[in-house]
Each structure stands twice: as C-alpha cells, then as structure tokens.
Structure 1
Amino acid sequence: MQVLHVCSEMFPLLKTGGLADVIGALPAAQIAEGIDTRVLLPAFPDIRRGITDAQVVTRRDTFAGRITLLFGHFNGVGIYLIDAPHLYDRPGSPYHDTNQHAYTDNVLRFALLGWVGSEMACGLDPFWRPDVVHAHDWHAGLTPAYLAARGHPAKSVFTVHNLAYQGMFYSWHMNEIELPWSFYNMHGLEFNGQLSFLKAGLYYADHITAVSPTYAREITEPQFAYGMEGLLRQRQHEGRLSGILNGVDSNIWNPQNDLLLAARYDRDSLEDKAENKRQLQIAMGLKVDDKAPAVCRGQPPDQPEGAGPGA
C-alpha cells in the first residue's frame, strides 16, 4: 500500500503545533511496518533548506501560478515539496505575517496544497501514485474535495488535530480554486455563509480520525465542535469517525538525553529534577524555593485542550 500525507508542517523542519510532531513520527512508523509512505509539504524556507537532496519531478501551471514539484528525503522518509516561491518563500510563520495577520492569499496557498495532493493520486509523479491520501487539518482540508471532484482516484483520510481552526474564506474564492460551485452548499464546503477548508475535509473524506478516542467523542458535542457537531455526528453514525491516540516519541521526549534540560535524569536519578525546577523558577522570575510546587501544562492558549470545563 502507498500512502501520501498532505500537511503544512513536519518536525523538526518546521513546527508551530502538535501536527508537526505527528508528521515527524507517523510516516517513519508506517514505513517500519512495510507501508510505502511519503509526505507532501509546501516548500516553506525552513522545510526547503532541510531537504538537501530535492530533485525536480515536474513543473505545472496551476490556478495559483507556476509550481515545481520536488522530491527528496528526510530521515528516511520520501518528501514531496511544492516549490512556489511567490506563495511560500516568506520569513517567519507559514500562516501569518510579522504583524500576526493571516496572509491575504492563504486561500490560494493552501488550496494549492490540497490540489497537488489530489493530483498526486492522478499521476502527477508518473513513477509513484498513492492508494491513500491522508490530509491533516484545515490547511490540507480541500484534498478530499479535489479527490471527489476527480472521481475518487484514491481513498482519503482526514485527521483533525485542532477543530478550532477552520480555514474560513469568502465564498467568491470558489471562482479561483478550480472546484465546482456545486460543492458549495451546506452538504459540502459552505459553513456559516463562507467557504470552510476544514468542513471540506470532514465532509468529503472517506474516513476521519481525531487525535484520541476521547477527542473523537468530544467533537460530536456542541461545546467542543465549534459548530461542526451535526456533520461529525453524521460521520460517526456512518462509521467514518474514529480516534487514534497520539503517542510520544521516546527518542525525543527522553529526559535522559534531552539537551534542552539543565540537568538530565532517569528513573534512578529523579533527584536531579530539582535543578530543572530551580532553573525554571529563575527563568520565570519566581522565588527559588525547593518546596514550592511547580505545575506546568502545555496546550493551545485559545481552547480548553486536555482539560474539562472548569479546570
């Protein structure tokens, strides 16, 4: 089986959230199980620099301009890059400018990502064609829609890492992204009067996965679904929504060899953690006190991920 992951980030090349960690680990794990797995990414500067053996596969004129499809490798995983400097060669965040404003052409930048993902299933690379195209989050959400428009040349999977970000754009952009207007309705791409890349993935994918069984249940409820609960309940009823628990890569999250820690430790030297606590207190401007409790929690700042209401 041949699988293509379509996404916008990959650890350690580029990371803004947990999506990158998954893409940094899952393809390699699938390859270890005998699955021929590759990844498709925009050629953002940090990603492009990390793929040192990239070679040209093909060049195409698209609705978003001229692109070059490259192929190389990173840590044993085959990587396709969409090289389109007019869209992706920008400093800083892949999603917004230095003033934290979303790029005004994001609709084209990420529609192109989905389009190329679909075209890969139609022979864009004449020497490799995926049986399954696995899209991740709103940035790749149009991938299943493009596959549907092309007559489903491959099966599609869509993983929700963060339902809060929905890739919302004005409906008139349908004129620019080469999808039929018949797809723009409540049973398709339309959401609250706009075009939603996230909803495209949820609606058109053959199967949806969430990052844990609990999250898969939660996103069918209004308090966690950001308006998508009706569609997600429908997909759940169809047997097309499931949760797969994200794991931790122990090669990275290992305090025994983590160079970012002031003091490294293992289960036989837990007392060495005290130095890390001391350095954290200093860094945060807190009183250095060995007896003061230190509680840390990592989560997106805009949603109650990892905790129930009232936590």
Structure 2
Amino acid sequence: MKLVFATSEAHPLIKTGGLADVSGGLTSALVELGHQVKLVLPAYQAVLDKVNKVSVLSQFELDGVGKRLKVRLLSAKVAELKANVILVDIPELFNRPGNPYMAADAKDWWDNGERFGVFSKAVVEIAMDRVGLNWKADVVHANDWQTGLIPALLTLEKSKPRSLFTIHNMAYAGYFPKSLFEGLKLPWKWWTIEGMEFYDQMSMLKAGIQMADWVTTVSPSYAKEICYPEYAYGFEGVLNQRQKQGRLVGIINGIDDQEWNPATDRYISYNYSAEKGRIASKKRNKELLLTLLGDSDPQAHLTIPLIGFVGRLVEQKGIDLILQALPDILETESVQFVFVGSGSEYYEKQLMRLAGRYPGRVFVHIGYSETLAHQVEAGADMFLMPSRFEPCGLNQMYSLAYGTPPIVHHTGGLIDTVVNTTKQTLADKTATGFMFYDPNPHALRATILQALNLYKKPRSWQQIQKTGMQRAFSWKKSAQNYIKLYAKEI
C-alpha cells in the first residue's frame, strides 16, 4: 500500500513525547513489511538544523488565515528512519526556535490552530497527488489533534484515500475559537455537534474522531477507558458512537527493539540478554549508575534495591503519589531511588528536598537525558510508573525488556503489557511486574513493599525478570495490526 503518515513529531528529528517514538518506530516497521510510506511533518527550525541532505520536491501556495502562504515540500534523508521523510516548509508558521507547540515562555504559540490547520491542508494535497509527486496515497494515517483536520478535509474529496486517526492522549483536544474555523474557510456544515463544534469552540481532535474511517488508540484497555466520562474529557458521546460502529480499535504500541535492547544498547557499558549475562551485567550496570549519580560507596550498596523513575514530573505520571509514599518507605526500608525527569516546578523542588533529606538514598536528575534513561533501565532493580492514566506507556515495556520489573497502576496500556505478580502468576511463571489498583499513596506504598519483599527471594525475582525479558513488544506486531485495518472494508 501507499501510505501517508502525518505527524507533528518524529524521533530522532523532534520529540516531546511518545508520539515521536511511534512515528519513527511504526513507519519503519511498515516499510520493512513492504509498504511505501511517506512520513510527513512540519519543517520546524529545530528539524532543519538537524538534517543535512535536503532537496526540494515541490512548491505551491495554500490559504492561511487571511493570507496566501508559500509552501515547499522538502525531501530529507534520515539514516534512522526507513520511511521517505517529507518536511512541510512554511517559514511563516514553522521557522521558530525551540518546542513545536510552545514559545520560550512555555505558553502555546498564539497561532497553533492556523499552523496545524494549514499543515493538514498540505498533507491532503500530498495524499491527493496535487503537488507533482505522481504518487497518490491509498491510506492517510493522522495522529492527535494537530492532524485532526486531515480526515475531515479528505471527506470533501472524490476517490479519497482511506483515513485512520490515532488518539495518543485524550487530554489534548486542540480547542480553538470559531474565528479560526471561519479563517480556515471550513464548510459550515461541520459547525454542528455532529461535526467539530464543541461548546462553541472547534476541536481538531473531535474532527479526527468524527470523520476518520477508522479511529484507533494506543492500547486495547485505553480504547475501552476513553468511552467513560472519567477519561473522555467530554467526548464520551462520540467515542461510544464510534465504538458501536466498530470503528474504534485499540492497538498496543511497540518499542524500538534496536534502540531499546540490552543486548545491543550503545548507552550502557555491559550488554546482556535473558539468556546470557543478565544477573552479573545488571549488577555491573548498577554499580556504574550509582557511581555516576554520586553514591559514596556504590560497591557496598549493590545489594540494596534501587528503584528508578524516568518521566514527566506531573500528576498524570503519579509523582504526587510517589512523594507521599516515599518518606515512610525510606524510614522503614533499606532502598535507594533515582529520578530522571522534569515538569512541574513544585514537584521538581519537592524531589530535590527529598534528595537533601535522604542523601545517598534519593538521587535526582532534573531534565531529560537519553543516556541516563537507558542506564536507569539497565541499572535499576525495579521501575516506578504509577500513572493515573496511561494511554499506552513505553517505559514499562523498556523495563520488561531490560529485566527491571515495573511497578504500575492498573490503567490503560499498563494493564495490557504488565502481568501482576500473585501466587498464581508466580506459580505459572507469567508474572512480569507489580500492579496496584487504586491511585492513592497507600496502595502504591503497599505494592512497593510487596516488590521489595520478593526482591529478597532471588529465584522468584529472577523468574519474573526473565519472563518479562522474553515478552516481545516489537513494532512489527503492531504494524501488522495497523495493516489489517488499512486494508479492511469501510
């Protein structure tokens, strides 16, 4: 099939979250399975700074809000990506420093609606073969609110490609005023509750949900959860409708098993696999990690369990639960913690205070470090991921691959990827991690204590590690599930 994959970010070109990993990993897997894929994203300044082999494919103009905009399509060679990369270059909208969505003051760009509305128009021109590429798409795969207008715009076309819209996180709905709807000259028939109107605003997320041929989200459990008010952010009506039509499907994400593979990982000093060197190499990686973190005597602390956390320091990721549960655990148990991430200034300061209160036992790195993220997965004994909601989650899958049993909340993709440790799952050798069922600090504390207790039983612990490492979460399986949907009759 000929496939256009439209996204606002893709690793390794630009990344703010899991969407970038999906865009890079899934498209490469689709190419490996024999499909023609054009990965289309905006030509942000940060992206143009990274690529050095660029050629102009096409030039044309599109209507923005009250003006005509010049558009260039650039072909970029990116060694890590197997898909053909097309950058939509509209300097007036995308030639800006820093984050794709926010200015330096951490506020959204004032014209985000126009930026991604015009980007969506450009993607439709590519898909419909109106830009001189002599290539028409069979399927257009759009992702999150930034590309939500694409399925809607395609409904206006004759002999249109099929459209699939993936929700990576319901929390971001792409709300904009009616004036943008007018400025983009969208059909008034869409300004209804059955269209993209939402309480007198337009929602680009709703446009994608309502008008795509297929709607997917990134795990089967999250596909069920978003049909309930607690997770739907007001969209439970349209989501339930799409579910009843059989048009809402959950497909679990994969992980890049070249990038996140303890047997080949270039970021860690001692490689290992489920079959070879796991126990000794994890110990060596742990010693090195503790040394890098500033532990005064890492060798003496190798027998003390080390629990890692890598992620955003926001309530969605359960950082508030961690901060409430940890002091009591630190007072009563022999354990160390390492945190890598950034987010709310309040939670950053609280973590730093905790590290000051428990020197040598709580290590904190504010900010993201790719190297340190890999080293925590390889060197920690357990991984903490108590997310309040988690559409799919990647870190728990990385942790399983690295023999670092995750401690997770019973939600979303965490349900679909982690098998809770119970007497039964220990006995039948299916346990891969630890799960708590109520998002409160007491439940989290009890589950951490359960994991710490089992850590003292090496045979059981090593079985949990090995089972997790043998579970395959490669992109190939996910890609095959998407291909079935692409080809399915509408």
TM-score by length of structure 2 reads 0.60
Greater helix fraction, Structure 1 or Structure 2: 2
SS in 2 for 1:166: coil
1:105 partnered with 2:111 = yes
Equivalent-residue separation in structure 2 for 1:152 and 1:234 (angstroms):
25
1:255 partnered with 2:267 = no
1:269 partnered with 2:277 = yes
| Alignment counterpart, residue 296 of structure 1, candidates 278, 285, 308 | 308
1:177 partnered with 2:177 = no
Residue equivalent to 2:75: 71
Q: Give the superposition deviation at 1:254.
A: 1.1
Equivalent-residue separation in structure 1 for 2:74 and 2:28 (angstroms):
20
Equivalent-residue separation in structure 1 for 2:307 and 2:228 (angstroms):
29
SS in 2 for 1:40: strand
Matched-pair contact (CA < 8 Å) for 2:164–2:212: yes
CA shift in 2, pair 1:282/1:195, >3 Å: farther
Q: Give the superposition deviation at 1:146.
A: 1.1
1:36 partnered with 2:36 = yes
Runs of 4+ in 1 over 4 A off after TM superposition: 278-288, 297-300
| Alignment counterpart, residue 87 of structure 2, candidates 78, 81, 84 | 81
CA shift in 2, pair 1:275/1:116, >3 Å: same
The number of equivalent residue pairs is 311
**TM-superposition CA deviations, 1:182-229 (whole Å, max 9, x none):** 212211111232111111110110001111111111111111111111
Equivalent-residue separation in structure 1 for 2:293 and 2:228 (angstroms):
37
Amino acid at match of 1:305: F
Matched-pair contact (CA < 8 Å) for 2:190–2:196: yes
1:198 partnered with 2:205 = yes
Equivalent-residue separation in structure 2 for 1:92 and 1:280 (angstroms):
30
Structure having the higher Rg: 2
Q: Give the superposition deviation at 1:58.
A: 2.2
SS in 2 for 1:295: strand
**TM-superposition CA deviations, 1:135-194 (whole Å, max 9, x none):** 011111111111123346211000111111111111211122131122122111112321
RMSD: 2.2
Matched-pair contact (CA < 8 Å) for 1:53–1:72: yes
Which is further off, 231-240 or 143-152? 143-152
Residue equivalent to 1:10: 10
1:125 partnered with 2:131 = yes
| Alignment counterpart, residue 154 of structure 2, candidates 134, 147, 157 | 147
Matched-pair contact (CA < 8 Å) for 1:299–1:305: no
Gap runs ≥5 in structure 2: 317-387, 391-408, 411-437, 445-490
| Alignment counterpart, residue 93 of structure 1, candidates 88, 99, 105 | 99
SS in 2 for 1:296: strand
Gap runs ≥5 in structure 1: none
CA shift in 2, pair 1:280/1:225, >3 Å: farther
SS in 1 for 2:282: helix
**TM-superposition CA deviations, 1:254-298 (whole Å, max 9, x none):** 123323335433332222223443455566677853343333355
TM-score by length of structure 1 reads 0.91
Equivalent-residue separation in structure 1 for 2:48 and 2:71 (angstroms):
14
Equivalent-residue separation in structure 2 for 1:218 and 1:298 (angstroms):
25
Matched-pair contact (CA < 8 Å) for 1:7–1:136: yes
Equivalent-residue separation in structure 2 for 1:293 and 1:276 (angstroms):
13
CA shift in 2, pair 1:20/1:141, >3 Å: same
Q: Give the superposition deviation at 1:42.
A: 0.2
